[in-house]
Amino acid sequence: MSEPLVLVADAGPVRTLTLNRPAALNSFTGAMHAELRAALDAAAAEASVRAVVLTGAGRGFCAGQDLNDPGMAPGADGRVDIGAVIEANYRPLALRLRAMPVPVIAAVNGVAAGAGANLALGCDLVVAARSASFIQAFSKIGLVPDCGGTWLLPRLLGRARALGLALTGDKLPADEAARIGLIWQCVEDSALADTAQALAQRLAAMPVKALAATRQAFDAAAMMDMDQALALEARVQRELGHQHDFAEGVAAFQQKRAPQFKDR
């Protein structure tokens, strides 16, 4: 039997998904996309999973689209339909990440290039090893940033830096990515797995329904004026205020005990 293209491992409430094509820096084939979609769907469906860590096997995180994948071969008209690849694979992937009911942490263990960079940046928190880097490799092969890059990069960085990275395709080292606020944290290589795991365990013990709602409210508010965002906040708080976790959080505070959150 062939090796899984996405490895799945649980540590209590934290599920770790590891992209597993290390010889090609975990670049995406159609088959790896299918396994990752299925793994994300399973994590979303299982009540016991309260946080997800996404990382890569070997020395890379993900080098984007596998440029040797037979799915990239020209069709009968002699042309490659990259739009179809995006619609079938990258768009569903990026949307799935944004809709996860639990926080997702990217543990970027090495180079993250092309769609691999934007896969990481689409996660809720990005922790990167000092030796890792982020490359918007698209311009070098005549494409625009995808897997949500056109939406994510200007929001994360502002237009000047986003365009600078996208146009040049320059390698951005992890420590610089942290310094300019593109990612949450850069840590020593030897500390990456433990740091990401500890962060995931910490978030898993929190009210994850509210954490996911926070991401979704941020995404929605990005398209709104302030009054619309205030109305959104009222709607979301009303719903969260009816949940177990709000009552539990307040009761635990009043009773000076640790809360036991369970909503999802």
Residues that bind ligand T3D (CB under 6 A): 24-25, 27, 63-68, 72, 82, 85-86, 111, 113-115, 135, 137-138, 141, 143, 146
140 DSSP assignment: G
Q: Phi and psi at residue 179, in whole multiples of 5°?
A: -60, -40
Please say which residue, 156 or 232, places its beta carbon nearer to ligand T3D: 156
Return the residue nearest ligand T3D (CB atom).
Answer: 64
Amino acid at the residue 185: Q
Tokens standing for residue 4: 């899984």
As measured in angstroms, the least distance from the Cβ of 172 to ligand T3D is 12
- Rounded alpha-carbon distances, angstroms, from residue 74 to 32, 83, 146, 147: 20, 13, 20, 21
Distance CA 42, CA 49 (A): 9
Q: In what order do the strands lie in the sheet with 60-62?
A: 60-62, 111-113, 133-135, 171-173
As measured in angstroms, the least distance from the Cβ of 114 to ligand T3D is 3
Burial 80-118 (b: 16+ CB within 10 A, else e): eeeeebbeebbeebbebbbebbbbbbbbbbbbbbbbbbb
Please say which residue, 5 or 212, places its beta carbon nearer to ligand T3D: 5
Please say which residue, 44 or 72, places its beta carbon nearer to ligand T3D: 72
As measured in angstroms, the least distance from the Cβ of 238 to ligand T3D is 40
Q: Phi and psi at residue 75, in whole multiples of 5°?
A: -80, -165
Concatenating the DSSP letter of every residue in 2-41 gives PPPSEEEEEETTEEEEEE--GGGTTPBPHHHHHHHHHHHH
| Contact status, residue 166 vs residue 153, Cβ threshold 8 Å | yes
As measured in angstroms, the least distance from the Cβ of 155 to ligand T3D is 19
Please say which residue, 143 or 236, places its beta carbon nearer to ligand T3D: 143
Please say which residue, 86 or 208, places its beta carbon nearer to ligand T3D: 86
* CA-atom Rg of the chain in angstroms: 19
Please say which residue, 31 or 72, places its beta carbon nearer to ligand T3D: 72
As measured in angstroms, the least distance from the Cβ of 251 to ligand T3D is 48
Instruction: Indicate the angle between helix axes 149-157 and 159-168, nearest 10 degrees.
Output: 130
As measured in angstroms, the least distance from the Cβ of 254 to ligand T3D is 50
Please say which residue, 43 or 85, places its beta carbon nearer to ligand T3D: 85
As measured in angstroms, the least distance from the Cβ of 60 to ligand T3D is 7
